[in-house]
């Protein structure tokens, strides 16, 4: 028994005998309970059978097969055939008609599977478009070759030939553009009715001189038919043709004089990139052992470029501060003016099955000197990268710190982290910063000028920085204490002395 099919028989009978009457007649009259498949895959699509579409014996109705065939695979109408004849040649139309006769519609209905799922392949008439579902990438047919090292005179000879050919190509392109500009000038001037090309066509030809062949070939192909249909009164006479030729030649000479100027010579000289790719010193991409360049991914090109902001005044061309500007809402000038300093540098080791992997652990702070302080910790195998990341994290994590009179803390604070204990005491104006050097940098970055800090126990660098940051964040709020006691808070220095003590 296959587990991919419904388990009928024993399981169905067992369920039917369990939940039905015990009498034989009732058991025979009760149908078996339908069993379910033991797999979770979707059921296969139904295929049409000829027995379902053919008329039954003794029935006078027509066959359903013919009706279903006409509905599913209708014949080409006259309008559709005329539209196909305008698109395909007679040989193609003959092949299409033979293909329609060779394929049996009954076989398509009974032996094939008509897919209506979203992943069905679509019929493509344009064979220049590749579908990755069933098309393969064409092989360029290149063969790897060993590099050829030429002698100095041979290299100079080949380089000169390549340079002259490049200059000739660019000269031809510039002369063609000069002729197109001359035609455009005459068209806008006195040759409105004498030049068949429009202004938009001339502008497109100036951007891409290869289009000139297309328009000129089309005009020459239609000259015979146009001359037969055009009345003699509308045709150009010899005087008008002579005037048109003189006007075009005069404008063309002006354009050639402009090309002779020094500024236009840059357009004729080949660029170093062209000489590198196509010159004798460059690599031949088809006959080379190097892998082909992947290039830009279509649809994704340009989406993830961090373009420099014009407001940055050219100080962030690499774009490393753009995400930080978006997160903090500050300008680049404000970010660069922050006090940023690395306080702790440690070498740490991670023991793995491959051995000991050493890396750097950096702790940095950032502050604006006016009540905001941030702490950042980062690790990396390179000390420079870890320090840069820690500085960025410190700027992003800046938070406000409460300060009394913008110079000291509110009361005394005590914090303990591991074996490190920090005692902070508020001091009067002019006391200064009497504390360890790491806490000194933190107080100066946040804008605290009068404080006394003691560390009676361990002076671990990392724990001391963390404990000082936690102490500054968890200061006592006198207003909350007064609200809890039901009292009114009054600062005697501000009321009686005006703060000048």
DSSP class of residue 162 equals H
Query: DSSP string spanning 291-302?
Result: PPP--PPTTTTT
Q: What is the share, in percent, of the chain residues with pLDDT greater than 70?
A: 66
The span from the CA of 300 to the CA of 309, in Å, is 21
Per-residue buried b or exposed e for 144-174, using 16+ beta carbons within 10 Å of the residue's own CB: eeeeeeeeeeeeeeeeeebeeebeeebeeeb
Q: What is the mean pLDDT of residues 184-189?
A: 80
pLDDT reading at 35 higher than 80: no
Per-residue buried b or exposed e for 380-401, using 16+ beta carbons within 10 Å of the residue's own CB: beeeeebbbbbbbbbbebbeeb
Q: What is the pLDDT of residue 217?
A: 58
Q: What is the pLDDT of residue 248?
A: 81
pLDDT reading at 343 higher than 90: yes
What distance lies between CA 21 and its chain's CA centroid? 68
Task: Output 294 or 27, whichever has higher pLDDT.
Answer: 294
DSSP class of residue 310 equals G
Residue 331, helix vs strand vs coil: coil
The span from the CA of 180 to the CA of 447, in Å, is 70
pTM of model > 0.75: no
Sign of the alpha-carbon torsion through 57, 59, 62, 63: negative
Q: What is the share, in percent, of the chain residues with pLDDT greater than 90?
A: 29
Q: Which of 39-48, 219-228, 302-311, 411-420 has the highest mean pLDDT?
A: 411-420
Q: What value does the CA radius of gyration of the chain take, rounded to a whole number of Å?
A: 43
Could you tell me the CA-to-CA distances from 218 to 20, 231, 382, 497 in Å, in that order?
A: 87, 21, 66, 97
pLDDT tens digits, 357-408: 999 999 999 999 999 999 999 999 999 999 999 999 999 999 999 999 899 9
pLDDT reading at 112 higher than 60: yes
Q: What is the pLDDT of residue 308?
A: 64
338-352, 435-449, 480-494: lowest mean pLDDT where? 480-494
Tell me the β-bridge partners of 422: 415
The span from the CA of 451 to the CA of 435, in Å, is 8
What distance lies between CA 485 and its chain's CA centroid? 60
Q: List own/partner pairs for 220-224 with CB under 8 A and 24 or more apart.
A: none
Q: What angle do CA 107, 109, 113 make, to 5 degrees?
A: 105
Picking from 429, 424, 430, 427, the residue whose alpha carbon sits closest to that of residue 464 is: 424
Residue 212, helix vs strand vs coil: helix
The span from the CA of 177 to the CA of 180, in Å, is 5
Cβ pair 283, 144 in contact under 8 A: no
Mean pLDDT of the chain: 76
Characterise 164 by phi-psi region: left (phi > 0), alpha (psi -120 to 50), beta (else).
Answer: alpha
The span from the CA of 340 to the CA of 367, in Å, is 7
pLDDT reading at 286 higher than 60: no
Say which residues have a Cβ less than 8 Å from residue 249's Cβ, sequence separation at least 6.
Answer: none
Q: Which of 138-147, 321-330, 337-346 has the highest mean pLDDT?
A: 337-346
The span from the CA of 226 to the CA of 222, in Å, is 6
Q: Which of 124-133, 191-200, 273-282, 435-444 has the highest mean pLDDT?
A: 435-444
The span from the CA of 166 to the CA of 280, in Å, is 13
pLDDT reading at 436 higher than 80: yes
Q: What angle do helix axes 199-207 and 211-221 make, rounded to 10 degrees?
A: 140
Sole residue written with tokens 């680049």: 332
State phi, psi for 87 to the nearest 5 degrees: -100, -35
Q: What is the pLDDT of residue 207?
A: 78
Helices then strands, counting H and E runs in the chain, come out as 21, 8
Tokens for 194? 């004498």
Question: Please, what's the largest Cα pairwise distance for the chain?
Answer: 120
Q: What is the mean pLDDT of residues 41-45?
A: 45
The span from the CA of 497 to the CA of 482, in Å, is 22
Cβ pair 396, 328 in contact under 8 A: yes
Confidence tier at 230 by pLDDT (50, 70, 90): very low
The span from the CA of 303 to the CA of 300, in Å, is 6
Cβ pair 31, 8 in contact under 8 A: no
């Amino acid at each position: 028994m296959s587990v991919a099919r419904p388990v009928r028989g024993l399981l169905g009978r067992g369920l039917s005998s369990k939940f039905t009457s015990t009498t034989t007649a009732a058991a025979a009259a009760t149908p078996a309970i339908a069993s379910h498949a033991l797999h979770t895959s979707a059921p296969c699509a139904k295929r049409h059978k000829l027995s379902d579409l053919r008329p039954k014996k003794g029935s006078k109705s027509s066959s359903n097969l013919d009706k279903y065939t006409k509905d599913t695979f209708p014949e080409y109408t006259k309008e559709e055939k005329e539209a196909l004849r305008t698109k395909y040649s007679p040989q193609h139309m003959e092949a299409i008609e033979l293909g329609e006769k060779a394929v049996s519609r009954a076989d398509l209905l009974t032996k094939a599977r008509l897919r209506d799922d979203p992943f069905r392949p679509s019929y493509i008439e344009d064979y220049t478009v590749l579908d990755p579902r069933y098309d393969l990438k064409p092989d360029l047919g290149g063969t790897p070759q060993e590099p050829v090292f030429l002698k100095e005179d041979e290299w100079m000879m080949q380089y000169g030939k390549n340079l002259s050919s490049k200059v000739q190509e660019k000269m031809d392109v510039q002369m063609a553009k000069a002729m197109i500009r001359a035609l455009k000038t005459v068209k806008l001037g006195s040759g409105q009715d004498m030049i068949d090309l429009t202004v938009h066509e001339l502008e497109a030809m100036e951007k891409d001189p290869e289009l000139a062949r297309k328009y000129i070939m089309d005009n020459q192909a239609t000259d015979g038919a146009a001359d037969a249909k055009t009345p003699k009164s509308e045709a150009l006479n010899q005087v008008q043709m002579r005037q048109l030729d003189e006007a075009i030649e005069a404008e063309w000479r002006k354009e050639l004089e402009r090309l002779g100027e020094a500024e236009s010579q840059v357009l004729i000289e080949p660029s170093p990139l062209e000489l590198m790719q196509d010159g004798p010193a460059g690599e031949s991409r088809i006959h080379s052992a190097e892998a082909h360049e992947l290039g830009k991914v279509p649809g994704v090109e340009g989406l993830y470029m961090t373009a420099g902001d014009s407001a940055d005044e050219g100080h962030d061309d690499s774009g490393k501060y753009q995400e930080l500007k978006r997160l903090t809402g500050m300008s680049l000038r404000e970010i660069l003016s922050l006090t940023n300093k690395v306080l702790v540098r440690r070498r740490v080791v991670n023991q793995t099955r491959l051995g000991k992997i050493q890396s750097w652990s950096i702790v940095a702070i950032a502050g604006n000197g006016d009540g905001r302080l941030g702490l950042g910790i980062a690790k990396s195998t390179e000390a420079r990268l870890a320090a840069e990341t820690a500085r960025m994290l410190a700027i992003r994590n800046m938070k406000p710190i409460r300060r009394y009179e913008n110079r000291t803390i509110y009361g005394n604070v005590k914090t303990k982290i591991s074996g490190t204990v920090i005692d902070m005491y508020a001091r009067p104006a002019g006391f200064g910063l009497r504390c360890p050097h790491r806490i000194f940098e933190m107080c100066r970055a946040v804008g605290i000028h009068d404080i006394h800090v003691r560390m009676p126990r361990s002076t671990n660098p990392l724990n001391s920085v963390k404990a000082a940051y936690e102490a500054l964040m968890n200061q006592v709020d006198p207003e909350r204490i007064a609200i809890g006691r039901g009292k009114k808070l009054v600062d005697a220095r501000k009321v009686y002395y005006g703060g000048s003590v």
